[in-house]
Amino acid sequence: MRRNDPRRNDNAQYDELADQWWEPAGGFAMLHWLAAARAEHIPPAAANGAVLVDLACGGGLMAPHAARLGYRHVGVDLNLSGLRTAREHGVLAVRGSVLQVPLADACADVVVAGEVLEHVEDDVAVLAECARLLRPGGTLVVDAIADTRLAGWIAVDLFERIPGGPPPGIHDPALFVDRRRLLAAADRLGLDLRLWGLRPSVRDLVAWRRGRRATVRMRRLPLTSVLFAGSGVKRATVAAAGPGGHDPVRRHGSPSPPTVVT
């Protein structure tokens, strides 16, 4: 598919790929590796009922990590087939857009926004939702693809042609993320966000390709110009509600509760 093909980043692709979410060597294999890398930056739950909101949860690949760390895992996504899969893995699956999340302010001890900032028209609006959902002192973890020529070449021109790479057409390089703009927005929104680069371990990748490893570890890089991750804490500018104990599935001021996938 050409770089500027209008079918790029079509959400319907996730329906066609619905059976791939939990395939360790399927089209979403790298998302499993990234989920494990995200989990390294999430502190264990400080209290019973602590909430991890997973924005654009897809098939719920964060589920084993959220459970191990002691969180109630609430996943938000637009794609119903992904949400159904997430629910099968224990996620409280809520249908909604990451641009206007149907959950209450400050309901989350942790917000994860993995591989979604580069799939929306307004990544800063998603970051604003992360800030709104987090309680003061709560943790944000993100990862995305940088808006650089190198990232476009690697993620689209190269990887889409490699068997076992990301599904062709899943990324639109026009939506890749401007890191400087993201960091400036984070600061305005009261988020102390730090970014670093990520790459798969080459040794693990070779072993995985040969069927000798089930998964591939992600390595940290100083270079953020292709795949980058970030974590941070929401500054405690208002009185903290304290960890845990929130009812996340109700947006303040909203007349009707959001759609929970059952």
Ligand X SMILES: C[S@@+](CC[C@H](N)C(=O)[O-])C[C@H]1O[C@@H](n2cnc3c(N)ncnc32)[C@H](O)[C@@H]1O
- DSSP secondary structure of the chain: --TT-TTTT-TTHHHHTGGGTT-TTSTTHHHHHHHHHHHTTSPPPSSTT-EEEEET-TTTTTHHHHHHHT-EEEEEES-HHHHHHHHHTT-EEEE-BTTB--S-TT-EEEEEEES-GGGSS-HHHHHHHHHHHEEEEEEEEEEEEBSSHHHHIIIIIIGGGSTTSSPTTS--GGG-B-HHHHHHHHHHTTEEEEEEEEEE-HHHHHHHHTTS-S---EEEES--SSEEEEEEEE---S----SS----SS-TT-SS--EE--
> Under 8 Å CB-to-CB from 180, ≥6 apart: which residues?
none
Q: Which is nearer to ligand X, 101 or 243 (CB)?
A: 101
Using CA atoms, how far apart are residues 1 and 185, in angstroms rounded to an integer?
33
Tell me how far apart the alpha carbons of residues 136 and 97 are, in angstroms, rounded to a whole number: 23
Judged by CB under 6 A, does residue 114 bind ligand X?
yes
Q: Give yes or no for residue 56 binding ligand X (CB under 6 A).
A: yes
User: CB of residue 237 vs ligand X: minimum separation in angstroms?
Assistant: 27
Q: Among residues 61, 91, 127, 142, which is the contact residue for ligand X, using CB under 6 A?
A: 61
79 binds ligand X (CB under 6 A): yes
Q: Which of the ranges 51-59, 146-154, 210-218, 219-227 carries the binding residues for ligand X, by CB under 6 A?
A: 51-59
Rounded to a whole number of angstroms, the minimum distance from the CB of residue 150 to ligand X is 20
Residues 161-200 that bind ligand X (CB under 6 A): none
Query: Looking at 63-71, 97-105, 154-162, 237-245, which segment touches ligand X (CB under 6 A)?
Result: 97-105
- Asked whether position 98 contacts ligand X by CB under 6 A, the answer is yes
- Name the one range near ligand X by CB under 6 A: 77-85, 146-154, 183-191, 231-239: 77-85
| 99 interacts with ligand X by CB under 6 A | yes
Cα–Cα distance list, 99 to 1, 77, 113, 120, 209 (Å): 27, 10, 12, 8, 36
**Is position 58 an interface residue for ligand X (rule: CB under 6 A)?**
yes
Interface with ligand X, residue 97, by CB under 6 A: yes
Residue nearest ligand X by beta-carbon distance = 58
- 218-221 vs 259-260, strand pairing mode: unpaired
State the nearest-atom distance from the C-beta of 55 to ligand X, in Å: 7
- Under the binding rule (CB under 6 A), the answer on residue 229 touching ligand X is no
Task: Mark residues 116-135: x for contact with ligand X by CB under 6 A, - for none.
Answer: x--xx---------------
CB of 159 to ligand X, least distance (A): 13
Residue 115 near ligand X by CB under 6 A:
yes
- Scanning 78-86, 153-161, 177-185, 240-248 for contacts with ligand X by CB under 6 A, the matching segment is 78-86
Q: Which residues bind ligand X (CB under 6 A)?
A: 11, 14, 31, 34-35, 56-58, 61, 77-79, 82, 97-99, 114-116, 119-120
